[in-house]
Chain A
């Protein structure tokens, strides 16, 4: 059994990590940390965990926590984990950081997209970008994982085969629709039921922070600088992300060619499903079909009129877009079976 701690456990991602880790047969959750919920039972903050844990949130020093466990999940706000990582590294513990602090290899991107200079840029190279389908071998030998962002994950999964095959010559337009849980459990004026219900809120027409990590990963795959234009909107659902990406491509392409491209790229990838059915109840990926699961559902459409490929991704933002992906990386890092603790058929209907 591996002993783990979740720091920042009172947020939605922290709660989802605890849900998955408490069910994991090779994991013992020794510690749940929260500054804001210090002293509360975990199940009081995450009522779905009642009966599954008697842990109480604590707010001990990070070095004290590190002395009790083997691996620490950091689910703290962006900018905070770079303060916590150096002292944890000194203890020899493994780290999976759910935030953005160690995702971007180019440190000049941090002031541009996050508004701060990185306090320990020399440590970034020690982290592996935690996309298990793209960086499996690196994750297996890593001690420190930077877990990807949710919209970034859906975008990258749906575009990766096209990037690898050299289709991404021109800037990619990505439209992302996301559920409310992606914005966390903090309350704002817009959280008000009357304000939020039935709204399609275009919260980031441009400038979304996941842009540079999508560009980073697609550029690695394509072997050249790939530019992305990302627009994100919040839609009336709790969980889920749907990304539709337009890839302008001048030559004619057959559907079978893309099918074979996606099949080959994701061969034997347990959590990737090609979800297109010409006569199905759902004909393309839909976040509704992945709820509560670690699946990434992918699809595409060819538009000969505008000479573009529409690449589609659907994930549960809290599972494949966050906690599930992190557990999958942990499994690889610790040489557990990759899918252990993650086999769950999606709930339907929801």
Chain B
């Protein structure tokens, strides 16, 4: 049975759109989170004493054969 995650403990501002990035309370390093508004994904690159470091995650671009 999946463990229910406690979310909403922390909301950071998305550096691209200014929206909110919701961070689960029990987030771990290397985990991917995303902006509630623009969908940009961030990788949690560090967790130190409650301070989070985020970096934009690689995303797959659409390719329609142009």
Contact = CB atoms under 8 A, between A and B. Distances in A.
Interface stretch (A209-217, A240-248, A273-281, A341-349): A273-281
Contacts of B34: 279
A255 interface: yes
B38 A276 contact: yes
Interface residues of B, number: 14
Contacts of A278: 38-41, 59
Interface in B11-54: 15-19, 34, 37-41
Given A278-B59, A279-B34, A279-B59, A259 B19 contact: yes
Contact of A283 (B16, B17, B62): B62
B41 A256 contact: no
5 contacts: A255-B38, A259-B18, A259-B38, A279-B60, A280-B39
B17 A277 contact: no
A39 to B, nearest CB: 52
Contacts of B37: 259, 274, 276
A256 B14 CA distance: 9
Interface in A251-306: 255-256, 259-260, 263, 274, 276-280, 283
B18 A276 contact: no
Interface of B: 15-19, 34, 37-41, 59-60, 62
Contacts of A263: 18
Given A279-B34, A283-B62, A255 B39 contact: no
Contacts of B60: 279
B45 to A, nearest CB: 18
Contact of B39 (A256, A259, A260, A276): A276
B64 to A, nearest CB: 12
What 9 pairs between A and B have smallest CB-CB spacing? Answer: A277-B39, A259-B17, A278-B39, A256-B18, A278-B40, A279-B39, A280-B39, A279-B41, A279-B59
Interface centre among A256, A278, A283 (most CB of B within 10 A): A278
A313 to B, nearest CB: 17
A279 B15 CA distance: 16
Nearest to A277: B39
A260 B15 CA distance: 12
A277 B34 CA distance: 10
Interface in A283-340: 283
A277 B18 contact: no
A276 B18 CA distance: 13
A283 B16 CA distance: 15
B35 to A, nearest CB: 8
Given A263-B18, A274-B37, 16 more contacts: A255-B16, A255-B17, A255-B38, A256-B16, A259-B17, A259-B18, A259-B19, A259-B38, A276-B37, A277-B38, A278-B39, A279-B34, A279-B40, A279-B60, A280-B39, A283-B39
B63 to A, nearest CB: 13
